[in-house]
Amino acid sequence: MGHHVICGLYTILSLLLVSSTRLSAGDDGLVRIALKKRPLMEAIYNKQVPKSKVDPVREAVNQVRAQAQRMFTEAAAMEQRLKRQWSHRGIRVNKRVREGYEGIIPLKNYMDAQYYGQIGIGSPPQNFTVIFDTGSANLWVPSAECFFSLACYFHPKYVSRRSITYKENGTPASIHYGKGAIFGFYSQDQVTIGGLVVNNQEFIEATYEPGFTFLAAKFDGILGLGFKEISVEGADPVWYNMVAQGLVKQHVFSFWLNRNANNGEGGEIVFGGSDPKHYKGSHTYTRVTRKAYWQFEMGDFLIGGKSTGICVDGCAAIADSGTSLIAGPIGVIAQINERIGATGVANEECKQVVSGYGQEMIELLKSETPPAQVCSKIGLCAFDGTSGVSAGIERVVGEARTTSVDGMFDATCNACEMAVTWMQSEFVQNHTKEGTLEYVGRLCHNMPSPVGSYVDCRHIDSLQSVSFSIGGRIFELQPEQYILKIGDGFMAQCISGFTALDIPPPVGPLWILGDVFMGAYHTVFDYDKMSVGFADSA
């Protein structure tokens, strides 16, 4: 390894000081060398790193994953004190043919936060554990050419010269996942998944994994199962090649995620069908509305069987196996926090809006003013014809307006819109004006915390259920399903499985149904019918 590092450093110095320099001799006899500044990744690998396209949904997924990572980082520090029967001896590939399907991959469950299974790349196969992620579309693993990232030294690395089926590609690529990112280049080789062998699969050799995101990860890489539309550089996802090469009889794959982290079976992904022993009854299917992520239309969201009024006109939702939690609009998550007694943070803009304009807002709603126009009527938002938008442009004249002022008005407008939604929810239940103002005030003091919302473990049994309306069916989650309990006895910590995510229309409101939801409901992804199906897990 030392020889390779020395050669790598010599190459870097050569690239920086020789190939990118210009010599000039002055009258004083001195030789001056003009140096050019190049981005770090280009300097190291002499390749231009492509810039990722900005996608609001991708940014939303990244944001939620970053929040989940912060939450579980603290919880992971307790791992040594937990009384778990963990085995780190690796995952054996189950090659038995069951129910006529060979693409069955057993998954390992780490703290109900990471589900990963084993694949092989190359011939003979080089084994890696990967997250099977429906929220991305590329396959990547650490490369033998990864010298400058600590994470690469704690995970196995792909060595192309050891594979007789390797084909060079070299196209540079980068992917961002929440707080983490990887940089590298494309290669091509065969990929073994269970009893299936996918030939000529493009994948990314990660040559740079900055930061600590992947350092402590139990998995080595990620295998994306999203649509090609979100694939970096348009590479065909593994699933596409499975279908094209006729490796699966049915063009579906399914997830069973075991939410008992102490159980020997962490879960299972089946390519080409579903395993009947892991679900009860039939699946309820809903149509994919955006061929990028597995996105669909979700109806009403209920707490304790009562509508929150948030998604009565429909919300977009994504079934995302790579996200640990459930993410939803901040206004709804605040309501959930208040109902389950989760820790939160006070929001000053919200408090000011309710104390200064609460009475007026209620009177406007009672006079049947359309809710979307209430905040514009009192001057806190402008009205764009469908909803409230920042009134900063109306309130501040000319070029003197600053970004900080814009941000202030944006926050006030957003706080007003949230308060209106909460008031509507209370009106449905015929609460008094005083009771409504008091309830909204409590919500302002209990906004979701970006580092996680903790719940008293002693009160879980008394908490209310939460429900999602999908495809005409109500999918209910009980407290023990949406509260993550880490540890035992007096050391136990209970974390809300909900985190806040706000995406404005027309893309939002958006929900991300991660492992908390998919653990309760066995999930089928149907590629031919462009639909997602849910059934009770067994």
For residues 103 and 249, the answer to whether their CB atoms sit within 8 Å is: no
In a domain, 2, yes or no: no
> What pLDDT score was predicted for residue 77?
54
The answer to whether residue 53 sits within a structural domain is no
In-domain check, residue 20: no
Q: Distance of alpha carbon 123 from its chain centroid, rounded? A: 32
Measured distance CA(326)–CA(319) in Å, rounded: 10
Residue 304: inside a domain: yes
The Cα 538–Cα 260 span in angstroms is 12
168 and 230 fall within a common domain: yes
Q: Which pLDDT score, from 0 to 100, does residue 55 have?
A: 74
**pLDDT score recorded for residue 152:** 95
Domain that holds residue 357: 348-384+407-446
For the chain, the farthest-separated pair of C-alpha atoms sits apart, in whole angstroms, at: 90
Residue 263, classed as helix, strand or coil, is coil
**Residues in contact with 532: Cβ distance below 8 Å, sequence separation at least 6, in sequence order:** 285, 286, 288, 294, 296, 319, 523, 524, 525, 526
Say whether pTM exceeds 0.85: no
3-state SS assignment for residue 516: helix
Provide the pLDDT for residue 433: 86
Query: Helix 433-444 vs helix 348-366: angle between axes, to the nearest 10 degrees?
Result: 150
What's the full length of the chain, in residues? Answer: 538
How many angstroms separate the CA atoms of 392 and 408, rounded?
A: 8
Catalytic member of 133, 220, 515, 526? 133
Do 332 and 372 fall into the same domain?
A: no
Q: Which amino acid is at 443?
A: L
For residue 503 the two structure tokens come to: 């995406």
Of 452, 509, 57, nearest in space to 294 by CA: 57
| Alpha helices by DSSP H, 292-432 | 330-340, 348-366, 371-377, 392-395, 403-428
Residues 470 and 496 in one domain: yes
CB atoms within 10 A of CB 323: 28
Q: In Å, how far are 202, 254, 271, 501 from 139, measured between CA atoms?
A: 8, 18, 16, 26
- Identify whether residues 125 and 205 lie together within a single domain: yes
pLDDT reported for residue 91: 36
The residue from 195, 218, 252 where one domain ends is 252
Counted domains in the chain: 3
Residue 298 near residue 315, CB atoms below 8 Å: yes
What does the alpha-carbon distance between residue 237 and residue 69 come to, in Å, rounded to a whole number?
A: 25
For residue 282, what is the enclosing H or E element?
strand 279-291
Written as six digits, the tokens of 358 are 């609460």
Sign of CA dihedral 499, 264, 518, 528: positive
Read out DSSP for 176-239?
EETTEEEEEEEEEEEEEETTEEEEEEEEEEEEE--SSTTTS-S-SEEEE-S-GGGSGGGPPPHH
Two tokens, residue 139: 């396959």
**Do 468 and 457 sit in the same domain of this protein?**
yes
Same domain (yes/no): 222, 303: no
354: CATH: 1.10.225
Q: 333 and 217, same structural domain?
A: no
In this structure, how many other beta carbons lie within 10 angstroms of the beta carbon of residue 491?
11
Decide if 320 is catalytic.
yes
Burial class (CB in 10 A: 0-12, 13-18, 19+), 23: exposed
Answer whether residue 218 is part of any domain: yes
Q: What is the pLDDT along the chain (538 residues), one digit of tens a residue?
A: 445 444 444 444 443 343 444 445 556 666 666 555 445 444 444 454 455 556 777 777 877 887 776 666 655 555 444 444 333 333 333 333 344 446 899 999 988 889 999 999 999 999 999 999 999 999 999 999 999 999 999 999 999 999 999 999 999 999 987 667 899 999 999 999 998 999 999 999 999 999 888 888 899 999 999 999 999 999 999 999 999 999 999 999 999 999 987 777 899 999 999 999 999 999 999 999 999 999 999 999 999 998 887 787 888 999 999 999 999 988 889 888 888 888 888 888 899 999 999 999 999 998 889 988 999 999 999 876 565 555 433 332 233 333 333 444 578 888 898 899 888 877 666 678 888 899 898 888 878 877 678 899 988 989 999 999 999 999 999 999 999 988 777 778 898 999 988 787 777 789 999 999 999 999 999 999 999 999 999 9
Pair (329, 458) in one structural domain: yes
CB 278 within 8 A of CB 268: yes
CB atoms within 10 A of CB 474: 13
Judge whether 66 lies within some domain. Answer: no
Do 162 and 230 lie in a common domain? Answer: yes
* H or E element at residue 73: helix 56-76
- In which element (H, E) is residue 174 found? strand 167-177
Tell me the three state secondary structure of residue 512: strand
Q: 358 and 498: one domain?
A: no
The one catalytic residue in 112, 300, 320, 515 is 320
Whether residue 302 is found in the same domain as residue 245: no
Instruction: Please count the helices (runs of H) and the strands (runs of E) in the chain.
Output: 12, 29
CB 302 within 8 A of CB 308: yes
Distance separating alpha carbons of residues 127 and 275, to the nearest angstrom: 25
Three-state DSSP state, 298? strand
| 141 inside domain | yes
Report the distance separating Cα 241 and Cα 260, nearest Å: 33
Distance of CA 258 to the CA centre of its chain: 19
Q: Which amino acid is at 518?
A: M
9 falls within a domain: no
HSE, side-chain direction, 13 A CA sphere, residue 103: 26
Do residues 322 and 339 share a domain?
yes
> How many Cβ atoms sit within 10 Å of the Cβ of residue 429?
11
Question: In DSSP terms, which residues pair with 284 in a beta bridge?
Answer: 534
pLDDT of residue 54: 61
* Element housing 63 (H / E): helix 56-76
- The yes-or-no answer on residue 461 being catalytic is no
Strand, helix or coil for residue 444? helix
Nearest partner of 190 among 131, 126, 260, judged by Cα? 126
Q: What is the CATH number of the domain that holds 198?
A: 2.40.70.10
CA 403 to chain centre: 29
